[in-house]
Amino acid sequence: MNDQLQRLSDLPLREDLQGKSPYGAPQIDVPVMLNVNENTHRLPPEVHQAIVNAVGEAVAGINRYPDREFAELRQALAGYLGHGLTRENMWAANGSNEVLQQILQAFGGPGRTLMSFPPTYSMYPLLANGTGTTYIAGDRSSDFTLGAREAADQVRAAAPSVVILCSPNNPTGTALSLDIVEAVYDAGRDSNTIVIVDEAYAEFAHAGTRSALTLLPGRQRLIVSRTMSKAFALAGARVGYLAAAPEIADALRLVRLPYHLSAITQATALAALAHAPALLAHVEDIKAQRDRIVTELTAMGLSPAPSDSNFVFFSGVEDPGAVWRALLNEGVLIRDVGISGYLRVSAGTEAETTRFLTSLRRLLGT
């Protein structure tokens, strides 16, 4: 045991946290970083300036607490999503992880359970641990797909307090059909299960893919979470949000910290939302590079999964760990997601994507 772990073990840490590891992805400074599904496009100049101006105005009143209800931001988010949503349907926090954490603080906790279906976003069990919620890992098919009946049967059997469905799923990239969401919601009726559809990558889905936002009317226990980190290129600003019945936001008010969204965060998000068309134009570029990656990996004899996200999950290399290290040595960082036989790469700019594909092709000798 190293000194740091020894010092940690000397503290009266909660028993359910002992031996746990924090979330982490390598933060290595290399020329091409395609490992954490960031939007690698810089903000358009007009958006950059709009945010600088908005933040400057916010700083003028920084001696005062921000709007605790972030009413203007909630209204802007409702306008962006559409679907008849209003300010009362919206909630926001410091990244979608904090949104999910607040949901678990309100609806999870000791004696309650969270269910999701691995492989999926690795933060879900960590959020469960942090809130004292017991985590239940559901099952997928061997090809990582999830069917409506099998998902509903598992929810009915486990009767979890909360279910998270990630769509498009991370790390596989595939979107769930809405019949799965409906089946899981109905299966949780007797257990009064909160159902969250994590749509962090929704803007990257293929045309015609329906959002779970369309299912919200009449479903009090359904929550759709989103983020501004990906499509809006605001990963460093930490803005996540959800849409749900108004009483969901009322529940979260019971657990949120006072003034949890800073004036700087609110100003940044509002300026970005005011320039949504310019930012979403980059989304189309990213989708084109994602589809290019799928096409070229297939041509190399690899097996990429269909992707509705800004990344591609693929198999077919003999030693994924060795490929990951070899790419890193060439200045290209992708993600070893810890699933045997698979790697994941984010779709970057055209130049970054070319660098990745050229390096991989050379390593594989294709």
Give the predicted TM-score (pTM) of the model. Answer: 0.95
Give yes or no: residues 36 and 58 share one domain: no
For the CA atoms of 237, 204, 182, 115, the dihedral, rounded to the nearest 10 degrees, stands at -50
Model confidence at 302, pLDDT cuts 50, 70, 90, reads: very high
Tell whether the torsion through CA atoms of 329, 331, 332 and 333 is positive or negative: positive
Q: Does 19 map to a domain?
A: no
pLDDT at 253: 98
Which tens digit of pLDDT belongs to each residue from 15-31? 888 887 787 676 788 99
| pLDDT beyond 60 at 1 | no
Give yes or no: residues 142 and 248 share one domain: yes
pLDDT at 141: 96
pLDDT at 49: 98
Model confidence at 66, pLDDT cuts 50, 70, 90, reads: very high
Interval 213-226 mean pLDDT: 98
Percent of the chain with pLDDT strictly greater than 90: 91
Interval 242-265 mean pLDDT: 98
The amino acid at 325:
R
| pLDDT beyond 90 at 10 | no
Give yes or no: residues 140 and 238 share one domain: yes
| pLDDT beyond 70 at 293 | yes
Domain containing residue 143: CATH number:
3.40.640.10
Range of the domain at 291: 24-43+278-364
| pLDDT beyond 90 at 113 | yes
pLDDT at 23: 77
Interval 47-54 mean pLDDT: 98
Interval 97-108 mean pLDDT: 98
Give yes or no: residues 82 and 200 share one domain: yes
CB atoms within 10 A of CB 77: 25
Q: Does 17 map to a domain?
A: no
pLDDT at 172: 97
Model confidence at 242, pLDDT cuts 50, 70, 90, reads: very high
Model confidence at 6, pLDDT cuts 50, 70, 90, reads: confident
| pLDDT beyond 70 at 190 | yes
Domain count across the chain? 2
Output the CA angle 48-49-53, nearest 5 degrees: 120
What would the two tokens of residue 276 be? Answer: 């949504």
pLDDT at 21: 78
pLDDT at 126: 95
Interval 106-135 mean pLDDT: 97
Q: Does 12 map to a domain?
A: no
Give yes or no: residues 93 and 158 share one domain: yes
3-state secondary structure of 227: strand
What would the two tokens of residue 212 be? Answer: 């779970």
CA separation for the pair 159, 107 (Å, rounded): 14
